[in-house]
Chain A
Amino acid sequence: MLKITPPFLRDGVSFLQIPPLTSSTMLPADEKALIEAFQSGDEFAFVSLYNRYKTQVYGFCVKMLGDKTLAQDVLQETFLRVYENRERLIKTSSFKSWVFTIARNQCLNQLRRSKRQVSLEDDVHGDPAPPVPQGQVAHLEKSEQVQLVNYFLDQLKDDYREVIILREYQNLSYAEIAAVTRSTLSAVKSRLFKARRKLASFMEPVLQQEQERVAAQRTP
C-alpha cells in the first residue's frame, strides 16, 4: 500500500515550478540521504531525484527507441515504477543503476511491441536509406551529424546499442552497465568492444570520404 503524503500538484502547478527551497527546508545535500528520505516517503526528495536523473533517463530512452514521444511515455512509466517500488530498493548506492534498469526494461518492452508492429508493415516501408553527408564531417550541420549518428546507432543490435548509449551518452561505469544489463563486467567490455568495432566500420568510410575531399581541395 502506498503511503499517503502531500500531493504532487498544488492548484495544478507541479513542484518543478515552485521556487527553490529556503535553507530551513533544504533537502539533504548528499544523494544517499536524499534516497533514504525518498524511501521513507518524502516527496520533495522524490522530486529532487527526478530532476537529477530525468535528463539522463530521457536521453537513454530517446536513443534506445529513436522516438521522442515514446521516450516521454517510457520516462513517465519509469518514474512511476520508481515511486511505487521504492521499498524494493535495498542498496541506496545502486539507485542510479536501479533507475536505468527499470528504464531499460521499459525500453525493451516498447521495442518488442514496436518490432511486432514493424514486422507487419515491413512490406510497405522497408528500411530507411542511410543519410549521405554532403560535406566534411567536421563541417556538417549539427542536425546532419545527429542524423548520421542516430542512423548508425539504429543499425546496431539492441544489446550493442544499449551498452554504447549507457557508456557514450550516459557515462556509466562498466560496473554500472553490468548492473543495468544484468551481465558480467567481462561481458560488458566484450559487447562494448564489438559495438565500437561495428561503429568504427560504419564511420570509417565517412571519415575516408572526408580525407579524400580534403586532399582534393589541397591539390591545385
Chain B
Amino acid sequence: MTDPQPMGASSICTASWEAALNEYVDGELPMEAQPRLFAHLATCAPCRRTLEAVLAFRRMSRQEPLAVPPAADDAVFRRLDQVKQRAERVDRNARQRSLWTAPTPLSLGAAAMVAVVLFVVGLLVPMQLDEADSTALVSAGMERVEFEPAPAEAVYVFYPGLTVEATKLDAAAVPFRAP
C-alpha cells in the first residue's frame, strides 16, 4: 500500500492520498490506514468530491443487468459441435488413409530427386576411385618410394611335351610358373 502523508500535511491533497482513496474504494486499504484517510477526507473537499463521484459511478454502473441471451448460448454450443464434428472427420480420415495416401515425410518429387542424385553419385564415385588409385595420397611427412619393375626376362615354361618362351609379366598366358 502507498503510505499517505502524515496527519500534519493532510490538508494538502497529494497523489498518495488519491492512491489511498482508490485502494479504499477497492477494499485494499488496510484497516489501520483507514482512520487517517477519513481524517483527510474530513478536511479535503476535492478528495471528498472524487470519492462521491466514484461511488456514484459505481451505483449507476450496477443498474444494468447483463444476461447472456439464450440464442447466444445455443450459438456457442452449435459452433462447438461443428468444431467437434470437423475433428471427428479428420480423425476418421486419418484412420482410413491407405499406405499410399498416407502423409510421407518426403514428397514424390523430392524422392525422385534424391534417387537421381544417388544414381549420379553411384556412377561418379567408382570413376573417382580409379583415378585415386593411380595417384595414391601421400602426406607431406611421407616419402614416396617407387620400385622399379623387375626387367622382363625370359622364363622357360614347360608344358607337357612342349617348351615355350614367355615373359614373367605375361601372367595370363602362363598356365604355371617354372620353379
Contacts and interface: CB of A to CB of B under 8 A. Distances in A.
A95 interface: no
Contact of B67 (A55, A146, A193): A55
A9 B72 contact: no
A98 interface: no
Interface in B33-64: 49-50, 52-54, 56-58, 60-61, 63-64
B26 A167 contact: yes
Given A80-B76, A168-B58, A54 B81 contact: no
A203 interface: yes
Given A145-B60, A145-B63, A79 B76 contact: yes
B66 A9 contact: no
A169 B49 contact: no
A142 B63 contact: yes
Interface stretch (A106-114, A121-129, A194-202): A194-202
Interface stretch (B17-25, B104-112, B139-147): B17-25
A9 B61 contact: no
Contacts of B119: none
Interface size class of B (residues with CB under 8 A): 35 or more
Nearest to B61: A149
A7 B67 CA distance: 25
B91 A14 contact: no
Contacts of B57: 149, 152, 168, 199-200, 203
A14 B77 contact: yes
A83 B80 contact: yes
A192 B81 contact: no
Given A76-B75, A83-B83, A204 B91 contact: no
Interface of A: 1-2, 4-5, 7-9, 14-16, 50, 54-55, 58-59, 62, 72, 75-76, 79-80, 83-84, 137, 142, 145-146, 148-149, 152, 167-169, 174, 189, 192-193, 196-197, 199-200, 203-204, 206-207
